[in-house]
Amino acid sequence: MAGLPGAAGTRSSSPGAAATLPSPRLDEAFLCSPLGGLMGAQAVLGLLVWALLADTTYHLHAAYGWVLFVSIFLWVATVLLFVMYLLQLPMKFYMVPWPLMLMIFNAVATVLYIAAFVTCSAAVRPTSWRQWDYNRRAAASFFAGLVMLTYGASTFFSFRAWKGLGSNAATSQAASRA
């Protein structure tokens, strides 16, 4: 009966066989994009900023509390956004204007890191009685400046993505008809 066209076939599976769920696909194109590369750099450099400052006697200077708040908060938010974009979750939540939200996040992060960079740089004292604190604080100031620049570049690229990379409806329709 197995060869008859109308016969119903039944298959039994062994009790140890489990159904495999599809694994989430990673977006390799996002990793190779400018925004993906900059978000990865922000995660690494932001981690360096707060790790270097957390290893000093930051509690003696109130300014470093602000820098730690900014760097840790934005590091966590950037890692969450990076994972969301990597797993293509914005495609599932299409109601949210993700390019606009990413541009606003990057612009706010740029402003916050400008304040953190200035604060961290101004609080570094070369005549510190603990030389290793001076070195770590100076390195944290340098990396805060780099993170500030990467957030600024991300703001530029996310603005271009929000505006459609400089194309408008007339040029996109003319290109599709040609």
pLDDT band at residue 73, thresholds of 50, 70 and 90? very high
Round to whole Å and give the CA distance between 117 and 122: 8
Give residue 32's pLDDT: 87
Write the DSSP assignment of 7-33 as a string of letters.
PPP-----TT--PPPPPPPP-HHHHHS
Round to whole Å and give the CA distance between 64 and 59: 7
Listed residue (50, 162, 38) closest to 100, CA to CA:
162
Give residue 150's pLDDT: 97
Candidate ranges 51-65, 96-110, 131-145, 152-166; pick with highest mean pLDDT: 96-110
pLDDT band at residue 118, thresholds of 50, 70 and 90? very high
Mean pLDDT of the chain: 81
Q: What is the pLDDT of residues 153-178, one digit of tens each?
A: 999 999 998 988 655 444 444 444 44
Q: Taking 90 as the threshold, does the pLDDT of residue 142 lie above it?
A: yes
pTM above 0.85, yes or no: no
Give residue 10's pLDDT: 56
Round to whole Å and give the CA distance between 141 and 116: 9
Mean pLDDT of 62-88: 91
Give residue 170's pLDDT: 46
For residue 33, which amino acid is it? S
- The more confident residue out of 135 and 23 is 135
**CB of 71 within 8 A of CB of 109?**
no
- The more confident residue out of 50 and 124 is 50
Q: Taking 80 as the threshold, does the pLDDT of residue 24 lie above it?
A: no
Q: Taking 90 as the threshold, does the pLDDT of residue 152 lie above it?
A: yes
